[in-house]
Amino acid sequence: MAEFKLMKGNEAMAEAAILAGCDAYFGYPITPQSEVLEYLAREMPKHNRIVMQAESEVASINMVYGAAGAGFRTMTSSSSPGISLMQEGISYIAGAELPCLIVNVNRAGPGLGTIQPGQGDYFQSVKGGGHGDYKMIVLAPASVQEMADFVYLGFDLADKYRNPVLLLSDGAIGQMMEKVEFKPYTRPVVDKSTWATTGKPKSRNRNYITSLFIQPERMEVHNLKLEEKFKQIRENEVRFEEINTTDADYLFVAYGLSARICQKAMDIAREKGINIGLLRPITLYPYPYQRLQELASQVKMMLSVELNSGQMVEDVRLGVNGKVPVEFYGRMGGMMPTPEEIVHHLETLIQYHHVN
C-alpha cells in the first residue's frame, strides 16, 4: 500500500525537490513560502546538496543561472514580490536556454499587498513577465500531492526543452496540509555535456552560456529557434483535468485553489439541478485552447473563476472564440469566494443569458 505523509504544500515541494535529485536550491525568505528554504536548509546538507540563503531574489535567480549553466539540476522559490524581482534573471535564463525550476507561491498584490493567497500573477507567469520573446512552461498544482508531483514533472520538462519551468501555486496550497505520497521516480538521462560549462577538455570546443546575439541576423535565428521550441511545447505538453464534463451544460474554468473551490460549487450546483462541469488547466502555458474550443460547442456558457480581477478569462475567451458567452467571477486582495457565492453568481448569469 502507498505510504502517505502529512505535509504542507511547501514542505512537500521541498521534499520532492530532494527526491528529484535537485543539486542546488537558492532562495530568500518571504511569506508564504519561507518553509521551503527552512526545510531545505535542514535537509539538503544531509544529502550533500547545496542550499543557500541568498541576499535577495535578484541574487537567487542569478545563482540559479550559474548552477543551471554548469549543468546542475537547480531551483528557486519565492512569492509574488520576489518573483517580480527575478523577472530580469528569468528572461536571461530563457534567452540562454537553461533548464531550471522556479516556484511562485502567489500572494495577493500589487506591491507589497498581503500575504494571503492570490492568483494575480497569472499574466506575469504565462505572458512573459520579463522582457523579450520567451515563454515558461507553467504548471498549476491544486493539491499538496501535485505540489510534489509537479516538481518531478517540472524538472523533467525543463531538461527536455532546456527551458525554465514555473510552478505557479498560491498561499493556500503552500500552507495547507494534505496527505502526500512520494511516488518512485526515475530521472530521465539527459546529456548536458554539449552546452554545460563544466570546464573545457582538449577534446571539445568551449561551451558558453549567453543570451547575447549582437547581430540582428543571428538574434533572429535564435528567436526562431526558441519559437520552434515553444511550438513543440504547445503541441506536446498541454495538460488539464476535466470533471463532470460529459453531460455538462455549463462549464467552470479554474486552476489551482480556485479549481478546488469550484469543485465544491459544482457539487452544490448539481444538487440544484444545474449540470455544470469543470475544466482545470494544469499547464497554464501551454494553455488548453483546443479543448475549450471543443467544449464550446457543447456547453451554453463558461464561467472563469479566479483570485484576481480577471486574467485567465482572456485565454478562455481566446479558446472559445466567441462561440458561447464566457463570464468571469473573482475575488481579490487575499479574499476567497465561498462555493455558495460562486453558485449564486452562476445562477444570476444563467438567468441573465436566458440560456436555460
Partner 1 sequence: MKNNNQLEELIVAGFGGQGVLSLGMTLAYAGMLENKEISWMPSYGPEMRGGTANCITIISANKISSPIISLFDSAIVLNQPSMDKFAPRVKPGGILLYESGTILKPSTRTDIEMIGIPATTEALKMKNTKVMNMIILGAYLQLRPVVSNESILEALQKVLPEKYHHLLPINRQALERGEAMVVELKVQPVS
Partner 2 sequence: MSTEQHILPGPVPVLNLPPCHTEEEYEMVYHKPATMVDTTMHYCPGCAHSLVHKLIMEVVEELDIQEKTVGVAPVGCSVFAYDYMDIDMQEAAHGRACAVATGIKRLMPDKYVFTYQGDGDLAAIGIAETLHAINRGENICIVFMNNAVYGMTSGQMAPTTLPGMHTTTSPDGRDVSYYGAPIKVAELMANLPGAFYVTRQAVNSANAVRRTKKALLNAFKYQPLHKGTCLVEIIGNCPSNWKMTPVEASRFIDEEMVKTFPLGDIKIPGAEDMKIY
Ligand X SMILES: Cc1ncc(C[n+]2csc(CCOP(=O)(O)OP(=O)(O)O)c2C)c(N)n1
Contact between 350 and 276 under an 8 Å Cβ cutoff? The reply is: no
State the CB neighbour count (10 A cutoff) for residue 184: 6
Round to whole Å and give the CA distance between 263 and 280: 10
Terminal CA-CA length for the chain:
46
Q: Give yes or no for a cis peptide into 32 (omega within 30° of 0).
A: yes
Q: Which of these ranges, 59-67, 217-225, 227-235, 259-267, lies near partner 1 under the rule CB under 8 A?
A: 259-267
Residues 157-176 that bind partner 1 (CB under 8 A): 171-172, 175-176
Cell reading at 192: 548536458
- Map residue 63 onto helix, strand or coil: helix
Nearer to ligand X among residue 1 and residue 112 (C-beta) = 112
Q: Say whether residue 57 binds ligand X (CB under 6 A).
A: yes
Among 85, 100, 278, 316, binds ligand X (CB under 6 A): 85
Q: Which of these ranges, 5-13, 23-31, 159-167, 187-195, lies near ligand X under the rule CB under 6 A?
A: 23-31
Q: Closest distance between partner 1 and the C-beta of residue 94, in Å?
A: 32
- How would you class 46 by CB atoms within 10 Å of its CB: exposed for 0-12, middle for 13-18, buried for 19 or more? exposed
Q: Which of these ranges, 23-31, 70-78, 230-238, 284-292, lies near partner 2 under the rule CB under 8 A?
A: 23-31
Nearer to partner 1 among residue 124 and residue 258 (C-beta) = 258
Q: Closest distance between ligand X and the C-beta of residue 239, in Å?
A: 30
351 CB-side CA count, 13 A? 6
Among 21, 53, 54, 81, binds ligand X (CB under 6 A): 81
Cell reading at 301: 456558457
Closest by CA position to 54, among listed 69, 41, 44: 41
Binding residues for partner 2 (CB under 8 A): 28-31, 34, 37-38, 41-42, 53, 55-58, 81, 111-112
Binding residues for partner 1 (CB under 8 A): 4, 6, 31-32, 114-116, 171-172, 175-179, 257, 260-261, 263-267, 336, 338-340
